[in-house]
Amino acid sequence: MFSALSKFFGNGSSKSKAKSRLHLVLVQDRTGLNGDEMSDFRLDLLNVLKKYFVIEDNGLDVQYQRDSGSTTLSINSPVLRRKPQVVLSKKETVNAAPAL
């Protein structure tokens, strides 16, 4: 009966939901990008990364941290390997990331 009651009143994990929702909302607020724009931004980032690397589609992590009033953008992605390029223009050769 106690477990049924506790299900009814909540099992004390509401705070972790609050934290994750807040992080999402604050990222949008701090950058001024709304939900759709954030998705577009991630997609653009993904496409740029995929030009040079083989990466997972859903491994991209974009974080905004605030410290003493300034906000830092950090972008993380697990990388499997460098993308094989058969033909690279001279510009792309110069700019391509070194082999992993």
Binding site for another protein (CB under 8 A): 10, 12-16, 18-19, 21-23, 25-26, 29-30, 66-70
Query: Is 14 or 47 the residue whose CB approaches another protein more closely?
Result: 14
Q: Which of 90, 88, 97, 93 is nearest to 49 (CA)?
A: 97
Q: What is the DSSP letter of 13?
A: -
Whole-angstrom distance, CA of residue 99 vs CA of residue 4:
57
Nearer to another protein, 28 or 77 (CB): 28
CB of 75 to another protein, least distance (A): 20
